[in-house]
Amino acid sequence: MFSADAQNQFFESVLFEATGWEHQIEDMQFLHGGCINNAVRLQTNRDKYFLKFNESAAAYEMFDAEARGLQLLAATESLTTPRVIHAGKQQGRSYLLLEFFEPTIPQRNYWEQLGHGLAKLHRHRQQQFGLGFNNYIGSLPQSNEWMSDGIEFFIEKRLRVQAGLAYYNNLIDSSLLRQLDRFYQKLPDLIPNTSASLLHGDLWGGNIITGHRGEPCLIDPAVYFGFREAEIAYTQLFGGFEQHFYDAYREVMPLDGNFRERVPIYNLYPLLVHLNLFGESYLSSIEQTLRRFL
Protein backbone atom coordinates (compact mmCIF):
# COMPACT_ATOMS: atom_id res chain seq x y z
CA MET A 1 0.00 0.00 0.00
CA PHE A 2 1.30 3.54 0.67
CA SER A 3 2.14 5.77 3.64
CA ALA A 4 -0.55 7.69 5.53
CA ASP A 5 0.53 10.99 3.99
CA ALA A 6 0.60 9.57 0.47
CA GLN A 7 -2.73 7.89 1.10
CA ASN A 8 -4.41 11.14 2.14
CA GLN A 9 -2.83 12.96 -0.78
CA PHE A 10 -4.27 10.36 -3.14
CA PHE A 11 -7.74 10.59 -1.59
CA GLU A 12 -7.71 14.39 -1.69
CA SER A 13 -6.57 14.38 -5.32
CA VAL A 14 -9.39 12.00 -6.23
CA LEU A 15 -11.96 14.14 -4.45
CA PHE A 16 -10.75 17.33 -6.09
CA GLU A 17 -10.78 15.79 -9.55
CA ALA A 18 -14.21 14.23 -8.99
CA THR A 19 -16.00 17.15 -7.35
CA GLY A 20 -14.00 20.28 -8.20
CA TRP A 21 -13.72 21.11 -4.50
CA GLU A 22 -10.81 20.85 -2.11
CA HIS A 23 -11.49 18.39 0.70
CA GLN A 24 -9.85 17.73 4.03
CA ILE A 25 -9.95 14.11 5.14
CA GLU A 26 -11.43 13.99 8.64
CA ASP A 27 -11.85 10.24 8.91
CA MET A 28 -11.44 7.18 6.72
CA GLN A 29 -12.12 3.49 7.07
CA PHE A 30 -11.17 0.66 4.77
CA LEU A 31 -14.15 -1.63 4.21
CA HIS A 32 -14.26 -5.38 3.85
CA GLY A 33 -16.15 -7.43 1.30
CA GLY A 34 -14.45 -6.64 -2.00
CA CYS A 35 -12.15 -9.33 -3.37
CA ILE A 36 -10.91 -7.37 -6.38
CA ASN A 37 -10.56 -3.71 -5.41
CA ASN A 38 -9.87 -1.62 -2.35
CA ALA A 39 -12.89 0.06 -0.78
CA VAL A 40 -12.86 2.93 1.69
CA ARG A 41 -15.34 5.25 3.40
CA LEU A 42 -14.14 8.83 3.36
CA GLN A 43 -15.43 11.48 5.73
CA THR A 44 -14.38 14.96 4.68
CA ASN A 45 -15.18 18.49 5.78
CA ARG A 46 -17.82 18.52 3.03
CA ASP A 47 -19.47 15.09 2.84
CA LYS A 48 -19.08 11.31 3.08
CA TYR A 49 -18.03 9.25 0.07
CA PHE A 50 -17.53 5.63 -0.94
CA LEU A 51 -14.33 5.14 -2.91
CA LYS A 52 -13.29 2.03 -4.81
CA PHE A 53 -9.78 2.03 -6.21
CA ASN A 54 -7.32 -0.32 -7.82
CA GLU A 55 -3.54 -0.12 -7.91
CA SER A 56 -3.66 -0.54 -11.69
CA ALA A 57 -4.71 2.29 -13.99
CA ALA A 58 -5.85 -0.42 -16.41
CA ALA A 59 -8.79 -1.16 -14.07
CA TYR A 60 -10.37 2.13 -15.16
CA GLU A 61 -12.37 0.30 -17.84
CA MET A 62 -13.96 -1.84 -15.12
CA PHE A 63 -14.91 1.20 -13.04
CA ASP A 64 -16.18 3.10 -16.06
CA ALA A 65 -18.42 0.17 -17.01
CA GLU A 66 -19.70 -0.09 -13.44
CA ALA A 67 -20.48 3.64 -13.39
CA ARG A 68 -22.38 3.40 -16.68
CA GLY A 69 -24.28 0.39 -15.38
CA LEU A 70 -25.31 2.18 -12.19
CA GLN A 71 -26.44 5.20 -14.20
CA LEU A 72 -28.47 2.96 -16.51
CA LEU A 73 -30.20 1.31 -13.54
CA ALA A 74 -30.84 4.68 -11.90
CA ALA A 75 -32.48 6.03 -15.06
CA THR A 76 -35.19 3.35 -14.83
CA GLU A 77 -36.27 4.67 -11.40
CA SER A 78 -36.92 1.07 -10.36
CA LEU A 79 -34.68 0.70 -7.31
CA THR A 80 -32.21 2.87 -5.42
CA THR A 81 -28.59 2.88 -6.59
CA PRO A 82 -25.66 4.93 -5.26
CA ARG A 83 -25.15 8.17 -7.13
CA VAL A 84 -22.11 8.03 -9.39
CA ILE A 85 -19.80 10.98 -8.74
CA HIS A 86 -16.85 10.15 -10.99
CA ALA A 87 -14.69 7.38 -12.42
CA GLY A 88 -11.12 8.28 -13.25
CA LYS A 89 -7.39 7.80 -12.79
CA GLN A 90 -5.04 9.39 -10.28
CA GLN A 91 -1.38 8.72 -9.49
CA GLY A 92 -1.28 5.54 -11.54
CA ARG A 93 -4.40 4.14 -9.89
CA SER A 94 -7.97 3.89 -11.15
CA TYR A 95 -11.00 4.70 -9.03
CA LEU A 96 -14.76 5.02 -8.78
CA LEU A 97 -16.26 7.57 -6.37
CA LEU A 98 -19.84 6.98 -5.25
CA GLU A 99 -22.42 8.26 -2.82
CA PHE A 100 -21.97 6.63 0.60
CA PHE A 101 -24.85 4.88 2.35
CA GLU A 102 -24.68 4.58 6.13
CA PRO A 103 -25.75 1.13 7.37
CA THR A 104 -29.44 1.37 8.28
CA ILE A 105 -32.14 -0.99 9.50
CA PRO A 106 -34.14 -2.39 6.56
CA GLN A 107 -37.71 -1.22 6.27
CA ARG A 108 -40.40 -3.71 7.25
CA ASN A 109 -41.42 -4.27 3.62
CA TYR A 110 -37.80 -4.36 2.38
CA TRP A 111 -38.13 -7.62 0.44
CA GLU A 112 -41.46 -6.65 -1.09
CA GLN A 113 -39.88 -3.40 -2.28
CA LEU A 114 -37.03 -5.37 -3.84
CA GLY A 115 -39.41 -7.76 -5.60
CA HIS A 116 -41.63 -5.00 -6.98
CA GLY A 117 -38.63 -2.87 -7.95
CA LEU A 118 -36.87 -5.68 -9.78
CA ALA A 119 -40.06 -6.49 -11.69
CA LYS A 120 -40.28 -2.82 -12.68
CA LEU A 121 -36.66 -2.99 -13.88
CA HIS A 122 -37.40 -6.11 -15.93
CA ARG A 123 -40.25 -4.30 -17.66
CA HIS A 124 -37.61 -2.30 -19.51
CA ARG A 125 -37.24 -4.44 -22.62
CA GLN A 126 -35.23 -4.51 -25.83
CA GLN A 127 -35.71 -6.35 -29.10
CA GLN A 128 -32.10 -7.58 -28.96
CA PHE A 129 -29.96 -9.20 -26.29
CA GLY A 130 -26.80 -7.54 -25.01
CA LEU A 131 -25.93 -3.91 -24.37
CA GLY A 132 -24.36 -0.91 -26.05
CA PHE A 133 -21.08 -1.49 -24.17
CA ASN A 134 -19.16 -4.39 -22.68
CA ASN A 135 -18.66 -4.68 -18.93
CA TYR A 136 -17.45 -7.08 -16.25
CA ILE A 137 -18.84 -9.70 -13.93
CA GLY A 138 -16.47 -9.71 -11.00
CA SER A 139 -13.10 -9.15 -12.61
CA LEU A 140 -14.00 -11.12 -15.75
CA PRO A 141 -14.86 -9.32 -19.00
CA GLN A 142 -18.48 -9.74 -20.07
CA SER A 143 -19.20 -9.39 -23.79
CA ASN A 144 -22.51 -7.71 -24.58
CA GLU A 145 -22.43 -7.62 -28.35
CA TRP A 146 -26.01 -7.33 -29.57
CA MET A 147 -27.67 -10.54 -30.77
CA SER A 148 -31.25 -11.05 -31.92
CA ASP A 149 -31.68 -14.57 -30.54
CA GLY A 150 -31.70 -14.92 -26.74
CA ILE A 151 -30.69 -18.56 -26.59
CA GLU A 152 -27.83 -17.99 -29.02
CA PHE A 153 -26.74 -15.02 -26.87
CA PHE A 154 -26.86 -17.16 -23.72
CA ILE A 155 -24.73 -19.81 -25.39
CA GLU A 156 -22.20 -17.69 -27.28
CA LYS A 157 -21.78 -14.65 -25.02
CA ARG A 158 -22.26 -16.30 -21.65
CA LEU A 159 -21.74 -20.07 -21.39
CA ARG A 160 -19.25 -20.71 -24.18
CA VAL A 161 -17.00 -17.78 -23.20
CA GLN A 162 -16.71 -18.89 -19.57
CA ALA A 163 -16.34 -22.56 -20.49
CA GLY A 164 -13.52 -21.70 -22.90
CA LEU A 165 -11.75 -19.69 -20.20
CA ALA A 166 -12.11 -22.57 -17.74
CA TYR A 167 -10.68 -25.01 -20.29
CA TYR A 168 -7.78 -22.66 -21.05
CA ASN A 169 -6.98 -22.49 -17.32
CA ASN A 170 -7.21 -26.30 -16.93
CA LEU A 171 -10.27 -26.08 -14.69
CA ILE A 172 -12.32 -28.34 -16.96
CA ASP A 173 -11.19 -31.03 -19.41
CA SER A 174 -12.09 -31.71 -23.02
CA SER A 175 -14.68 -34.30 -21.99
CA LEU A 176 -16.70 -31.72 -20.06
CA LEU A 177 -16.28 -29.25 -22.90
CA ARG A 178 -17.88 -31.81 -25.24
CA GLN A 179 -20.72 -32.35 -22.74
CA LEU A 180 -21.35 -28.62 -22.77
CA ASP A 181 -21.48 -28.64 -26.57
CA ARG A 182 -24.17 -31.35 -26.45
CA PHE A 183 -25.99 -29.35 -23.79
CA TYR A 184 -26.01 -26.23 -25.99
CA GLN A 185 -27.81 -28.18 -28.70
CA LYS A 186 -30.59 -29.08 -26.25
CA LEU A 187 -31.15 -25.54 -24.94
CA PRO A 188 -33.82 -24.50 -27.48
CA ASP A 189 -36.02 -27.28 -26.07
CA LEU A 190 -35.19 -26.50 -22.44
CA ILE A 191 -35.73 -22.75 -22.02
CA PRO A 192 -38.26 -20.36 -23.62
CA ASN A 193 -36.85 -17.84 -26.07
CA THR A 194 -38.57 -14.81 -24.54
CA SER A 195 -37.94 -11.08 -24.97
CA ALA A 196 -34.92 -9.35 -23.43
CA SER A 197 -35.29 -7.50 -20.12
CA LEU A 198 -32.84 -5.11 -18.49
CA LEU A 199 -31.00 -7.06 -15.77
CA HIS A 200 -28.77 -6.09 -12.87
CA GLY A 201 -26.68 -9.05 -14.04
CA ASP A 202 -24.99 -10.06 -10.77
CA LEU A 203 -27.88 -10.16 -8.33
CA TRP A 204 -26.97 -11.99 -5.14
CA GLY A 205 -27.26 -10.95 -1.50
CA GLY A 206 -23.85 -9.29 -1.39
CA ASN A 207 -24.86 -6.80 -4.08
CA ILE A 208 -27.88 -5.45 -2.20
CA ILE A 209 -27.50 -2.97 0.65
CA THR A 210 -29.89 -0.63 2.47
CA GLY A 211 -30.32 2.94 1.27
CA HIS A 212 -30.66 6.07 3.38
CA ARG A 213 -34.27 5.25 4.31
CA GLY A 214 -33.75 1.51 4.81
CA GLU A 215 -34.91 0.67 1.29
CA PRO A 216 -33.12 -1.93 -0.91
CA CYS A 217 -30.24 -0.51 -2.94
CA LEU A 218 -28.45 -2.24 -5.84
CA ILE A 219 -24.66 -2.11 -6.16
CA ASP A 220 -21.94 -3.72 -8.32
CA PRO A 221 -24.03 -4.35 -11.45
CA ALA A 222 -23.10 -6.31 -14.56
CA VAL A 223 -26.02 -4.97 -16.58
CA TYR A 224 -27.30 -6.24 -19.91
CA PHE A 225 -30.56 -7.12 -21.64
CA GLY A 226 -31.19 -10.83 -21.19
CA PHE A 227 -33.61 -13.45 -19.90
CA ARG A 228 -35.31 -12.20 -16.74
CA GLU A 229 -35.65 -15.81 -15.56
CA ALA A 230 -31.85 -15.96 -15.43
CA GLU A 231 -31.81 -13.07 -12.94
CA ILE A 232 -34.39 -14.68 -10.66
CA ALA A 233 -32.55 -18.01 -10.89
CA TYR A 234 -29.30 -16.36 -9.80
CA THR A 235 -30.96 -15.03 -6.63
CA GLN A 236 -31.47 -18.67 -5.60
CA LEU A 237 -27.90 -19.84 -6.16
CA PHE A 238 -26.57 -19.06 -2.68
CA GLY A 239 -29.55 -19.90 -0.50
CA GLY A 240 -32.14 -17.60 -2.01
CA PHE A 241 -33.86 -14.42 -0.88
CA GLU A 242 -36.81 -14.09 1.48
CA GLN A 243 -40.03 -15.59 0.09
CA HIS A 244 -41.67 -12.16 0.28
CA PHE A 245 -39.32 -11.07 -2.51
CA TYR A 246 -40.47 -13.83 -4.89
CA ASP A 247 -44.14 -13.33 -4.05
CA ALA A 248 -43.89 -9.58 -4.69
CA TYR A 249 -42.03 -10.11 -7.97
CA ARG A 250 -44.69 -12.53 -9.21
CA GLU A 251 -47.43 -10.04 -8.37
CA VAL A 252 -46.02 -7.76 -11.07
CA MET A 253 -44.23 -10.21 -13.39
CA PRO A 254 -45.60 -13.77 -13.09
CA LEU A 255 -43.20 -16.65 -13.70
CA ASP A 256 -44.01 -19.72 -15.76
CA GLY A 257 -45.02 -22.75 -13.71
CA ASN A 258 -42.01 -24.71 -15.02
CA PHE A 259 -39.51 -21.99 -14.08
CA ARG A 260 -38.20 -23.94 -11.08
CA GLU A 261 -37.02 -26.76 -13.36
CA ARG A 262 -35.01 -24.27 -15.43
CA VAL A 263 -33.17 -22.64 -12.51
CA PRO A 264 -30.09 -24.95 -12.73
CA ILE A 265 -29.81 -24.23 -16.47
CA TYR A 266 -29.58 -20.47 -16.02
CA ASN A 267 -27.22 -20.85 -13.07
CA LEU A 268 -24.62 -22.58 -15.20
CA TYR A 269 -23.41 -19.10 -16.14
CA PRO A 270 -22.71 -17.81 -12.61
CA LEU A 271 -21.30 -21.23 -11.68
CA LEU A 272 -18.83 -21.06 -14.58
CA VAL A 273 -17.96 -17.50 -13.56
CA HIS A 274 -17.31 -18.60 -9.99
CA LEU A 275 -15.28 -21.57 -11.25
CA ASN A 276 -13.04 -19.17 -13.15
CA LEU A 277 -12.79 -16.69 -10.29
CA PHE A 278 -12.53 -18.97 -7.26
CA GLY A 279 -11.57 -22.45 -8.42
CA GLU A 280 -12.69 -26.06 -8.59
CA SER A 281 -15.14 -26.10 -5.68
CA TYR A 282 -17.85 -25.06 -8.16
CA LEU A 283 -17.10 -27.82 -10.66
CA SER A 284 -19.29 -30.51 -9.07
CA SER A 285 -22.41 -28.31 -9.34
CA ILE A 286 -21.70 -27.77 -13.05
CA GLU A 287 -21.24 -31.50 -13.61
CA GLN A 288 -24.45 -32.25 -11.69
CA THR A 289 -26.48 -29.92 -13.92
CA LEU A 290 -25.06 -31.45 -17.08
CA ARG A 291 -25.84 -34.98 -15.87
CA ARG A 292 -29.41 -33.90 -15.16
CA PHE A 293 -30.10 -32.56 -18.65
CA LEU A 294 -27.96 -34.75 -20.91
Per residue in 115-128, pLDDT (tens digit) is 999 999 999 999 99
Tell me the pLDDT band of 143, cut-offs 50, 70 and 90. Answer: very high
Q: Based on the domain organization, do 12 and 144 belong to the same domain?
A: no
Q: 36 falls in which pLDDT band (50, 70, 90)?
A: confident
225 within some domain: yes
Pair 253, 128 in one domain = yes
67-90 tens-digit pLDDT: 999 999 999 999 999 999 999 999
Question: Residue 40's domain is classified under what CATH number?
Answer: 3.30.200.20
Q: What percentage of the chain reaches a pLDDT higher than 70?
A: 99
278 and 176 share one domain: yes
> What proportion of the chain, given as a percentage, has pLDDT over 90?
91
On whether both 69 and 164 belong to a single domain, the answer is no
Going by pLDDT thresholds of 50, 70 and 90, the confidence category of residue 8 is confident
Predicted confidence at residue 196, as pLDDT, reads 98
Do 208 and 267 belong to one domain? yes
Our answer to whether residue 5 is catalytic in this structure is: no
Query: Do residues 143 and 284 both lie within one domain?
Result: yes
How confident is the model at residue 56, as a pLDDT?
A: 85
Same domain, 276 and 219: yes
Segment 169-173 mean pLDDT: 97
φ/ψ (deg, to 5) at 148:
-85, -25
Position 33 pLDDT exceeds 70: no
Using CA atoms, how far apart are residues 111 and 104, in angstroms rounded to an integer? 15
pLDDT classification of 31: cutoffs 50, 70, 90: confident
Give the domain range for residue 165.
Answer: 110-293
The predicted pLDDT at position 268 comes to 98
Same domain membership, residue 130 and residue 9:
no
Considering the domain architecture, whether residues 134 and 189 belong to the same structural domain is answered as yes
Single residue among 77, 99, 121 that ends a domain in this structure:
99
Which candidate in 5, 64, 202, 220 is catalytic? 202
Whether residue 209 sits in one domain with residue 122 = yes
CB of 73 closer than 8 Å to CB of 81: yes
Indicate the average pLDDT of the chain: 95
pTM of the model: 0.95
* pLDDT surpassing 90 at residue 6: no
242 Cβ contact list (under 8 Å, min separation 6):
111
Per-residue pLDDT, averaged over 40-63, amounts to 93
Q: Does the pLDDT at position 55 exceed 90?
A: no
Average pLDDT over residues 277-285: 96
| Confidence tier at 247 by pLDDT (50, 70, 90) | very high
Domain assignment present for residue 17? The answer is yes
**Mean pLDDT along residues 180-195:** 97
Residue 35 above 70 pLDDT?
Answer: no
Tell me if 104 is assigned to some domain: no
* 105 found inside a domain: no
How many domains are there within the chain? 2
Q: Are residues 131 and 241 in the same domain?
A: yes
Choose one of 99, 134, 166: the last residue of a domain.
99
Q: Read off the CATH number of the domain in which 141 is found.
A: 3.90.1200.10
Q: Which residue, 99, 133, 152, sits at the end of a domain?
A: 99
Q: Per residue in 101-140, is it b (16+ CB within 10 Å) or e — as a string?
A: beeeebeeebbbbbbbbbbbbbebebeebbbeeebbbbeb
pLDDT at 34 exceeding the cut of 80: no
Question: Of 29, 33, 98, which is closest to residue 63 (Cα–Cα)?
Answer: 98
